[in-house]
Each structure stands twice: as structure tokens, then as C-alpha cells.
């Protein structure tokens, strides 16, 4: 229960156990154990799915005494049901096998109850932490390792993507530049049948992955089967695997005598050796060097970007802004911390555009809203972004080590951009509405179970560095103000013209209209968009129209006869 106390001490809004929080935890816990729609009988569903005030009060008293009695009882009920199915009629055994295929690890833990009760604690921590809000989360050690791979966009291993097959694991992808790719001996669709001379036939994919993982510069030998008469043992030295396919993509689009550079940034990652802000900066420098004056505009595509590291979101915004406040964060103690940029130079001073969708979240919203606040970029896309304005931190006792009991990512507070606004719950609204597949989808913070509400704070455009010691403040404040990012407001007439031109094109484009209709009917189209499927790229009407808006802007800018599109804010 020590972890529960830490959560309540540090969480953005919850500071004590309450009947409401216990009810949330019970229903969430019950949801984890409801392995199919009719897994539990109606009586149990009524008792635990909608817990009575008596059960809530009893459970609250138990938790205050560091006991998990109610949760243990529910686990026992789930175990009894599983054993009944496993040893029951043919139909029940079929149901058991179906459930087992979907929940293998959970079922293994449930059937081991009595020998090892860790499943009770693990599920409780998952249920309790996720009941605090939409983004707090408990990770087992294995889950935390996978989370860090996603954040860092790299791992140590042999560099393959696998799927389980009866004889072992089929290689779906050999990651370019990885250890396996470097051998030149292994092909996609090869089947790994042995690891270090031991068969992996029948093993689940997560166990196979563990056998292939290990420390950097250690070796592992795999036996591959290409066809019936071809088997080959390959020894591979484990090494760093960079997940380039998820990082950023650059395409160039012709406009007049130059090009528009589209940079799709898919996550805000950082590792010991690299980060998205550094990679983005290098990419822009390369484009400038190669294209010179032919580079007419940069478009940052954040439509599929669900966030990542807060610091990287700030650093990406810093690339395009001069000195000033980028983000303020406020925690449960009402203490506010300001994240500033002190630089004079920016990496790109030309026209800048940001594409967003309802799937753009967290750090993507920081970038879009910060650039919008200062009038540095034109934001184009869905009616709003996801609406995640909270920030999370790990509450590990030793942040340098993965704890054997797992890790907790906890919502500590809210973030606000320089305008004093938080995207929490409401998202970022674009300058120009160009709807895509996500524009009518139930995607966003307001659709999550336990989302938090946020207010606004005072704008921080007029920043006197009052939180900095007076001696240092007096030395740096004059230069800070001299290098301040100017504020601009987009011309209402320019917005009206660009929006009308866009609407006219959309309304007269049958393919676009059909795509928008399908977005409300077919989940598959939405899935293809969110997964960046190559087949979807061929009919990305939102991107095509967004680039048309960019071209409208550039044409207006070139033919404005001295009438500015952006006006200095008063």
C-alpha cells in the first residue's frame, strides 16, 4: 500500500481514498477479470460490476488496513470459473481455449493463485492507478521496458519483427541497419525454429522475444528455416536497433519554381544518443542546404503524433521561436514552473504550417498551440486536437533502475502554453478547418473514462523572469527582452479567403466527400490512417487539401501588394 500512499500524495487532484475512488477501482478490477461478455454469471456481474455502497465501504476499510480481501475474492471467483471451463463440457473447453488465446499471461497468473498471489496485487495497482485519471498507469517490468522502447524509439536486440507460428516465429521484418540486417543472411518470411540450439516450437511470442533479447554485444544463435530443405544457423551479435520507420518522414511537393517540404513527425522521442528535436533540426538544415531559396515553406505533419516526452515537445517548439515562455506546468501544490527559450536564432524563418487531427495529442498539442499563440505558424486540420493537457511523471524510488515491483506513471498536473490556455479537454482549434478521417471519430480526452478538467491561467507573454534570482535576472532580462519572440495575429480576411477556397474545393471533390462519409461508417479506414498505412497514403485527401491551403497562403503572400497576412499583436 506504500505505492497507493505515494500516488495520493503526488497526484494532480486525488489526495485521499474515497468511496468514489474505491468504486472506480472495483469496477475497473472487475473489468480486467471479465474475460468475455458472459464470463461471470448475472449475480456476480450485478455484485461486482455495479458495487453496492456496502461493498464499497467494506473495501475502503480493508484498504485503510492494507488488505486486499475484496480483490482476492474476485480473483478466486475468476479462477473457479476458469477451472470450470477448462475441465467442463466440450463447449466449455472450447470457450476456455478461446479465452486463453486472448489472455494467455493473465490466465497463467490466475491459475497460479495460491502458489503466487502477485496477480492480485498487480491487477489492484493497475485498477487503482488507472482509476485516478485517464493517463496514470501502472507498468509491470516487462511493460515498462516496452514503454521505454516506444519513448526512445530504440532498443537492444537483433532487429526483427516477429509473429508466432506453429513451428516457432516468422520474421515479418528485418529492420534496416539492425544486427540481423547486417549479417545479410536472414530474410523476411524466414521462420526461426531454434534459439541457442533449443526449440521454440509452441512458445508464445513474448517468451521468444525474451530469448532473443540480451545485453549489447552479446551473441545469440538462431536457426532459420526458409523452406523444407533449407535450414541455417546464424550467430548474431545483439546491438542497438533504431526504429527509424516510426520517427519522421520527409517529402517534397512542387510549388511554382520551388518546393514545399512536408515533415511528418510521428512521436516526441529521446534516447542517450538522439532525439526528435535534433533529428528535426538536422533534417531542416539539410533541406535548406540542398534547396536554398527553392524551399518555399515547411509543413510539420503532426496528425498521427500522440505525444511523447514533454521536454522534446518544448525543444521542437524552440526550433521555430525566439526567446519567450513555451510552456508552464502547474502541479498539485499549485506551484508553477515556466519552461523558456532564451535563444535569438531560429532554424527557419519562412512560412511554417502545422497539420493536426483529433489524434494529435500531448506534445503535439504543445507544439501546435505554442506556434499558434505567437502567430508563428498557420494550423490546419480537424476541428480540434485530442485535448490532453496533463503531464505525467514516474514516481520510482530510484529513477535509474526498473523496479521489480513495476513502475507508476502518475498525472502530476496540467501544462499551459504562453497564452495561459491548456488544451486539456478542449484541444487546439485550427486556423483553417480541413477535415480528415478523424474529424468525426469519437477520439479525444472527453471520450476517456476519467478525464480531468483544467482551467486557464494568466498569459505569460509579458515575462519578467520573476522566478529567477534577482542577481541573475538583472543580468539576463535586457537581452531576453531584446530577443523576445514577437506576437502576430492572422488577418481575418486571409482566414476567410483561405477557408472559403478550401471549402469550395472539398465540396466539389467527390473522392473527398466519399472519404468523409466512409470515416463515419468504416473503422478500417480510420485504422489505416492512424497506422500510417501505405494504402491510405494513396488517398490522403486531407493532406492534399492542406497542401492546397499552403499554396493559397503562399500565393496570397506573394501577391498581397504590401497587405500583410500576419499583423503584429497589440
> Is 444 contained in some domain?
yes
Are 263 and 228 found together in one domain? no
Cell numbers at residue 332, please?
498539485
Residue 71: enclosing H or E segment and its boundaries? helix 69-86
Residue 146 belongs to a domain? no
Spatial distance between the Cα atoms of 356 and 247, rounded to a whole number of angstroms: 17
Domain end marker among 242, 263, 291: 242
Domain membership of residue 253 (yes or no) is yes
Q: How far apart are CA 167 and CA 201, in angstroms?
A: 5
Is 268 inside any structural domain? yes
Q: How many angstroms separate the CA atoms of 390 and 454, rounded?
A: 9
- Cβ-based neighbours of 94, under 8 Å, separated by 6 or more: none
Q: How far apart are CA 378 and CA 374, in angstroms?
A: 11
Task: Check whether residue 193 and residue 57 sit in a common domain.
Answer: no
- Three-state helix/strand/coil letters over 100-159: HHHCHHHHHHHHCCCCCCHHHHHHHHHHHHHHHCCCCEEECHHHHHHHHHHHHCEEEECC
User: How would you classify residue 212: left for phi > 0, otherwise alpha for psi between -120 and 50, otherwise beta?
Assistant: alpha
Q: Are residues 228 and 260 in the same domain?
A: no
Q: Are 552 and 501 in contact (CB under 8 A)?
A: yes
Q: Is residue 147 part of a domain?
A: no
Q: Is there a single domain that holds both residue 170 and residue 122?
A: no
Provide the sign of the torsion angle of the four alpha carbons 16, 408, 366, 542, taken in this order: negative
Q: Is the pLDDT of residue 243 over 80?
A: no
Average of pLDDT values for 99-113?
Answer: 80
Are 488 and 411 within one domain? yes
What length is written for the chain? 570
Is 426:37 a contact under the CB 8 Å cutoff? no
Residues 373 and 510 in one domain: yes
Residues 30 and 100 in one domain: yes
User: In this predicted model, what pLDDT tens digit does every residue of 494-547 receive, in sequence order?
Assistant: 999 999 999 999 999 998 888 887 655 555 556 666 656 655 566 789 999 999
Domain boundary among 99, 132, 165: 132
CATH assignment of the domain containing 187: 2.30.42.10
Please indicate, yes or no, if residue 478 is contained in any of the structural domains: yes
Q: Indicate the number of domains in the chain.
A: 3
Q: Indicate if the pLDDT at residue 154 is higher than 90.
A: no
Question: Could you tell me what percent of the chain has a pLDDT over 70?
Answer: 92
Helix (H, G, I), strand (E, B) or coil at 7: helix
261 with 238, same domain: the answer is no
Residue 173 domain flag:
yes
- State how beta strands 432-433 and 378-381 pair: parallel
Q: What is the pLDDT of residue 333?
A: 86
Q: Which helix (H) or strand (E) element contains residue 288? A: helix 276-291
- What 3-state DSSP class applies to 162? strand
pLDDT at 553 over 90: yes
What is the domain range of residue 97?
Answer: 1-132
CB atoms within 10 A of CB 465: 18
What is the DSSP code string of 152-211?
HTEEEE--EEEEEETTEEEEEEE-TTSHHHHHS---TT-EEEEETTEE-TT--HHHHHHH
Beta bridge partners of 473: none
Q: Is the pTM of this model over 0.85?
A: no
* pLDDT, mean of residues 194-205: 88
Task: Assign residue 479 the CATH number of its domain.
Answer: 3.90.226.10
Q: Which has the higher per-residue pLDDT, 396 or 67?
A: 67
Element spanning 225, H or E: strand 219-227
Are residues 391 and 475 located together in one domain of the fold?
yes
> Are 424 and 471 found together in one domain?
yes
Backbone φ and ψ for 348, nearest 5 degrees, come out as -150, 125
Taking residue 485's Cβ as centre, other Cβ atoms within 10 Å add up to 22
> Which residue, of 207, 242, 277, is where some domain finishes?
242
Each residue of 458-501: pLDDT tens digit? 999 999 999 999 999 999 999 999 999 999 999 999 999 999 99
CA 487/CA 568 separation, integer angstroms? 6
Cα angle vertex 483, ends 478, 486, to 5°?
120
Cell of 90: 466440450
Instruction: Assess whether 203 and 310 both reside in one domain.
Output: no
**Together in a domain, 231 and 256:** no
- Domain membership of residue 149 (yes or no) is no
Amino acid at each position: 500500500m506504500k505505492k497507493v500512499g505515494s500516488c495520493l500524495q503526488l497526484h494532480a487532484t486525488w489526495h485521499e481514498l474515497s468511496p468514489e475512488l474505491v468504486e472506480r477501482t472495483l469496477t475497473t478490477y472487475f473489468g480486467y477479470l471479465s474475460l468475455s461478455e458472459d464470463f461471470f454469471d448475472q449475480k456476480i456481474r450485478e455484485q461486482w460490476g455495479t458495487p453496492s455502497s456496502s461493498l464499497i465501504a467494506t473495501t475502503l476499510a480493508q484498504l485503510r488496513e492494507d488488505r486486499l480481501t475484496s480483490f482476492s475474492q474476485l480473483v478466486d471467483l475468476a479462477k473457479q470459473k476458469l477451472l470450470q471451463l477448462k475441465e467442463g463440457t466440450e463447449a466449455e473447453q472450447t470457450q476456455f481455449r478461446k479465452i486463453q488465446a486472448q489472455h494467455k499471461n493473465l490466465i497463467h497468473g490466475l491459475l497460479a493463485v495460491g502458489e503466487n498471489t502477485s496477480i492480485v496485487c498487480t491487477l489492484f495497482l493497475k485498477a487503482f492507478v488507472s482509476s485516478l485519471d485517464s493517463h496514470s498507469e501502472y507498468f509491470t517490468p516487462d511493460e515498462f521496458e516496452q514503454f521505454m522502447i516506444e519513448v526512445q524509439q530504440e532498443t537492444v536486440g537483433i532487429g526483427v519483427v516477429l509473429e508466432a507460428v506453429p513451428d516457432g516465429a516468422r520474421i515479418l521484418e528485418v529492420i534496416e541497419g539492425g544486427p540481423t540486417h547486417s549479417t545479410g543472411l536472414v530474410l523476411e518470411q524466414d521462420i526461426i525454429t531454434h534459439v541457442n540450439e533449443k526449440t521454440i516450437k509452441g512458445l508464445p511470442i513474448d517468451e521468444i522475444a525474451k530469448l532473443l533479447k540480451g545485453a549489447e554485444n552479446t551473441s545469440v544463435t538462431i536457426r532459420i528455416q526458409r523452406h523444407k530443405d533449407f535450414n541455417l544457423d546464424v550467430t548474431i551479435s545483439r546491438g542497438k536497433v533504431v526504429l527509424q520507420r516510426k520517427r519522421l518522414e520527409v517529402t517534397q511537393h512542387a510549388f511554382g519554381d520551388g518546393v514545399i517540404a512536408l515533415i511528418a513527425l510521428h512521436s516526441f522521442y529521446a534516447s542517450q544518443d538522439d532525439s526528435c528535436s535534433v533529428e528535426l533540426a538536422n533534417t531542416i538544415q539539410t533541406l535548406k542546404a540542398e534547396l536554398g531559396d527553392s524551399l518555399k515553406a515547411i509543413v510539420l505533419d503532426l496528425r498521427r503524433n500522440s505525444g511523447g516526452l514533454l521536454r522534446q515537445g518544448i525543444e521542437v517548439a524552440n526550433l521555430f521561436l525566439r526567446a519567450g515562455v513555451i510552456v508552464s506546468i502547474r502541479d498539485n501544490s499549485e506551484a508553477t514552473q515556466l519552461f523558456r527559450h532564451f535563444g535569438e536564432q531560429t532554424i527557419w524563418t519562412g512560412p511554417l504550417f502545422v497539420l493536426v487531427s483529433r489524434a494529435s495529442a500531448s506534445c503535439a498539442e504543445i507544439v501546435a498551440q505554442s506556434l499558434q499563440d505567437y502567430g508563428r505558424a498557420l494550423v490546419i486540420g480537424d476541428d480540434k486536437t485530442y485535448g490532453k493537457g496533463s503531464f505525467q511523471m514516474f514516481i520510482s524510488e530510484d529513477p535509474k533502475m526498473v523496479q521489480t515491483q513495476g513502475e507508476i506513471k502518475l498525472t502530476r498536473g496540467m501544462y499551459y502554453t504562453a497564452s495561459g490556455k491548456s488544451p486539456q479537454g478542449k484541444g487546439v482549434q485550427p486556423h483553417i478547418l480541413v477535415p480528415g478521417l478523424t474529424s468525426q471519430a469519437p477520439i479525444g480526452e472527453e471520450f476517456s473514462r476519467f478525464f480531468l478538467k483544467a482551467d486557464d491561467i494568466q498569459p505569460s507573454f509579458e515575462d519578467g523572469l520573476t522566478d529567477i534570482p534577482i542577481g541573475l535576472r538583472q543580468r539576463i532580462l535586457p537581452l531576453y527582452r531584446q530577443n523576445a519572440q514577437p506576437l502576430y495575429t492572422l488577418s481575418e480576411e486571409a482566414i476567410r479567403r483561405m477557408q472559403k477556397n478550401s471549402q469550395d474545393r472539398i465540396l466539389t471533390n467527390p473522392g473527398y466527400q466519399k472519404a468523409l462519409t466512409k470515416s463515419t461508417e468504416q473503422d478500417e479506414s480510420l485504422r489505416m490512417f492512424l497506422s500510417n498505412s501505405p494504402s491510405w497514403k494513396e488517398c490522403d485527401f486531407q493532406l492534399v487539401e492542406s497542401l492546397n491551403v499552403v499554396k493559397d497562403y503562399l500565393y496570397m503572400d506573394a501577391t498581397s501588394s504590401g497587405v500583410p497576412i500576419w499583423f503584429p499583436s497589440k
